[in-house]
DNA sequence: ATATGAATGCACATAGATGTGCAGTGAAAA
DNA sequence: TTTTCACTGCACATCTATGTGCATTCATAT
């Protein structure tokens, strides 16, 4: 009676189902944001029974975690490590900011939804802290180590998604214009 | 049979009930934001039957409208009119920005909730457009008329709630520090 | 004294989401 | 060939919010 049974081909199709679920969830996160995304919606969009969803992801957090994992693998935040080699901090900023603003532009919808929902949903906030926190801290570290306190505050502002959105989407600056504006702003920031 | 009946004292108590409802709604908007605020919650907090609520406000929009009306009467955005008399635009900015940032500080919770919800709820967005739009436009007008395009973009950024929040709550600048930083940023902004 | 109507208290039907139960189905593993 | 199990399809109970119905209460207007 007790017979061994190890998944081989079936493991693949199982992984495929799991991937379809995660993809569907990511699409919904882009469309309406994680907070508005229900298990029912994900199941329907993935073409899967709700049962199947619960089987793969016992709770929302595990699904969120896997979505954010796949997404940051596919569309990673710019790596600040190579910027360390740049001597002049202005030059460093003129390299780093366009990279970050480019990411914001490519991922504007998702970023807006996720940051919005993080404000009231602890689960989403946890994901943001986990996935974006360290990289953002690294940006501040690499780009701000020679700066004064006032300049660091301005750098923090320059790195914010909302700043990019305000300058580019609302004021209509080109990405390069936004970068140059914020480099100047950091440069000009003096002691209070 | 057909007898006239005009409300006198009863009109007052009716207005009082209506006011209690609006106050309850405003409290909830501060606590969790308009999007999360349900009619059921408002009725419970106001100590009123849901029926009564529907009697006063047939739909969410009418309640939102009255809440925002009362609130902006009680805690109005700073009036930009007197700033027009100030010759030097730097001086003007050093007068206007602290006033706006003070308002942001006093109303941080509500502003955060409302701006967040406006991003996905058209009803809330409409209220924001109605109540804040004109005043924000006036700010840009009064404070930005002598500025270059790049400087106007930086001014727009300076006027944003998110900018205040980033500089003061996240970077820990004092309000005056945030003002000075953004005045300098506008001052330094050059042509792109 | 009597009629009015703002507000109550309880009820109902609807709708969407949730979590779980259970008997299939069918392809893959033994 | 037979067993295993991922997934299906339908079901159920629960919960919360919504919008509405209706009889009742009671201070107020007539």
Over the stretch B6-16, which tens digit does the pLDDT of each residue have?
Answer: 987 899 999 99
**Exposed, middle or buried: residue A148 (CB in 10 Å: 0-12, 13-18, 19+)?**
middle
- Percentage of residues in chain B having pLDDT higher than 70: 98
Cβ contact, residue pair A173, B192, below 8 Å: yes
- Please tell me the predicted confidence (pLDDT) of residue A191: 62
Maximum alpha-carbon separation in chain A: 79
Indicate if B128 and B172 belong to the same structural domain: yes
Of A73, A95, A120, which closes a domain? Answer: A73
Contact A184 B184 (CB under 8 A): no
**CA A66, CA A56: separation in Å to the nearest integer?**
11
pLDDT at A1 over 60: no
Of B184, B143, B191, give the one whose Cα is nearest residue B167: B184
- Residues recorded for chain A: 192
Per residue, what are the HEC states of B14-81?
HHHHHHHHHHHHHHHHHHCCHHHCCHHHHHHHHCCCHHHHHHHCCCHHHHHHHHHHHHHHHCCCCCCH
pLDDT (tens digit per residue) in B101-131 = 999 999 999 999 999 999 999 999 999 999 9
Tell me: do A120 and A183 sit in the same domain.
yes
Model pLDDT for residues A108-156, shown as the tens digit of each residue: 999 999 999 999 999 999 999 999 999 999 999 999 999 999 999 999 9
Q: With 90 as the cut, is the pLDDT of residue B134 above it?
A: yes
pLDDT digits over A53-78, tens only?
A: 999 999 999 999 999 999 999 999 99
B1 pLDDT above the threshold of 60: no
- Distance CA(B104)–CA(A171), nearest Å, equals 21
Any atom of strand C under 7 A from CB of A8? yes
Last residue of a domain, one of A47, A73, A99: A73
Q: How far is CA A5 from the centre of its chain?
A: 40
Subunit contact A173:B180, Cβ cutoff 8 A: no
Query: Do residues A93 and A110 share a domain?
Result: yes
Same-domain pairing of A30 and A85: no
B96 and B135 inside one domain: yes
Pair B96, B139: CB distance under 8 Å: yes
Range of the domain at A158: 76-189
With distances taken from each CA to the C1' atom of nucleotide C20, the closest residue turns out to be A51
Are A108 and A48 in the same domain? no
Contact A54, A63 (CB under 8 A): no
Q: Domain check: are A53 and A134 in the same one?
A: no
**Cβ(B188)–Cβ(A184) below 8 Å:** yes
Q: What confidence category does residue A175 fall into, taking pLDDT thresholds of 50, 70 and 90?
A: very high
Cα–Cα dist A179/A101, whole Å: 8
Q: What is the mean pLDDT of residues A13-29?
A: 98
Q: How far is A167 from chain B (nearest CA, A)?
A: 6
Residues 6+ apart with CB under 8 A from A9: none
Task: Give every CB contact of residue A37 below 8 A, 6+ residues apart in sequence.
Answer: A25, A28, A29
- Which pLDDT score, from 0 to 100, does residue B81 have? 97
- A12, two tokens: 């693949």
Q: Which of B77, B51, B65, B69 is nearest to B136 (CA)?
A: B77
Nearest Cα neighbor of B109 from B179, B24, B27, B21 is B27
Residues of B with CB under 8 A from a CB of A: 32-33, 36, 112, 116, 119-120, 150, 152-154, 156-157, 160, 162-163, 166-167, 170-174, 176-178, 180-181, 184-185, 187-190, 192
With contact defined as beta carbons under 8 Å apart, do A27 and A45 qualify?
yes
Neighboring chain B residues of A157 at a CB cutoff of 8 Å: 157, 163, 166-167, 171
Domain end among B16, B44, B73: B73
Helix axis angle, A108-118 to A89-106, nearest 10°: 90
- Coil/strand/helix, residue B87: coil
Predicted pLDDT at A190:
79
CB B53 within 8 A of CB B65: no
**Is A165:A151 a contact under the CB 8 Å cutoff?**
no
Mean pLDDT of chain B, nearest integer: 96
The tokens for B116 are 């967040």
Same domain, residue pair B91 and B108: yes
| Number of domains forming the structure of chain A | 2
Selected for mutation to probe chain B from A137, A140, A181, A190 (highest B CB count within 10 Å) is A181
Mean pLDDT of chain A: 96
A28 has a pLDDT exceeding 60:
yes
Question: CA-CA distance, A123 to A131, in Å (whole number)?
Answer: 12
CATH number at residue A18: 1.10.357.10
**Interchain contact, A150 vs B112, CB within 8 Å:** no
Answer whether B192 sits within 8 Å of A171, measured CB to CB. no
Longest dimension (CA), chain B: 78
**Cβ atoms A150, B181 nearer than 8 A:** yes
Do B88 and B147 fall into the same domain?
A: yes
What angle, rounded to 10 degrees, do the helices at B122-131 and B133-144 form? 40
What span, in angstroms and rounded, lies between the C-alpha atoms of B90 and B96? Answer: 10
Confidence of residue B190 (pLDDT cuts 50, 70, 90): confident
Query: Is B101 found in the same domain as B56?
Result: no
**Which candidate from A120, A171, A188 shows the least CB-CB separation from B188?**
A188
| Cβ–Cβ < 8 Å for A163, A104 | no
Residues A84 and A54 in one domain: no
Do B62 and B90 reside in the same domain of the chain? no
Does the pLDDT at position A2 exceed 90? Answer: no
Query: Which helix (H) or strand (E) covers residue A76, if one does?
Result: none
Rounded distance in angstroms from the CA atom of residue A158 to the C1' atom of nucleotide D4: 57
């Amino acid at each position: 009676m007790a017979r061994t049974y190890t998944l081989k081909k079936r493991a693949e199709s199982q992984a495929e189902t799991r991937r379809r679920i995660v993809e569907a969830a990511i699409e919904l996160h882009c469309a309406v944001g994680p907070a508005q995304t229900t298990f029912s919606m994900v199941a329907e969009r993935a073409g899967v029974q709700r049962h199947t969803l619960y089987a793969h992801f016992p709770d929302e957090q595990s699904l969120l975690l896997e979505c954010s994992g796949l997404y940051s693998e596919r569309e990673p935040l710019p790596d600040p490590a190579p910027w360390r080699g740049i001597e002049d901090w202005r030059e460093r900023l003129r390299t780093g900011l366009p990279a970050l603003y480019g990411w914001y532009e490519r991922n504007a919808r998702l970023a807006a939804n996720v940051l919005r929902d993080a404000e009231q949903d602890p689960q989403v906030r946890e994901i943001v802290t986990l996935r974006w926190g360290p990289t953002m801290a690294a940006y501040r570290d690499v780009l701000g180590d020679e700066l004064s306190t006032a300049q660091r505050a301005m750098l923090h502002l320059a790195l914010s998604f909302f700043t990019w959105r305000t300058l580019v989407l609302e004021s209509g600056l080109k990405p390069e214009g936004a970068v140059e504006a914020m480099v100047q702003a950091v440069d000009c920031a003096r002691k209070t």
